Amino acid sequence: MHEKGLEAAIRIGGAVVVTAAAVLAAVLESFLVPFYIGGIAVPLAGAIAFVANWRLAALAVYWTGGRWSVVLTSAAWFAVVVIATMPTSAGSLVVTSGFNGYALLLAGTAGIALALWQYFRPKPSAKPRTVADPRVAAQATPTATKESRQ
């Protein structure tokens, strides 16, 4: 196998594995929504969703070498969570409309938003602009007009 073929196989395999991990994480989080300790709702699913979505996106970028792979993990997670919020024909729900359900949706979306911001924000230039020629620097600075001198 050539080097380019091996690299392409690793990138495609990484994309498949990370997408499957996002699906698995979304299923696990969906079933952790009704998590209570002593009658108190604990948003464990939301905490896991935030961290998992953020770090799975980073893993996807690392394995595939492209920042667009963030969309793979995001779309996979959203697809599973949206399906889990839809009632079945019998009326059953996996993700219910309560504190934990809303925490899962909000925290998972926040993790995705953080990953998207991290990889798609505009990068500042590395070097500040400096002018080496003093004549160019004098032209670049605004000069006073006749009216402002008076």
State whether the Cα torsion 26-31-37-43 is positive or negative: positive
pLDDT one-digit tens code per residue, 22-65: 999 999 999 999 888 898 888 999 999 999 999 999 999 999 98
What is the residue type of 60? A
User: At 36, is the secondary structure helix, strand, or coil?
Assistant: strand
Angle, CA of 32, 60 and 110, to the nearest 5°: 50
- Specify the pairing of strand 36-37 against strand 40-41: antiparallel
Q: Containing H/E element for 37?
A: strand 36-37
Q: Is the distance from CB of 71 to CB of 129 less than 8 angstroms?
A: no
pLDDT one-digit tens code per residue, 53-67: 999 999 999 999 888
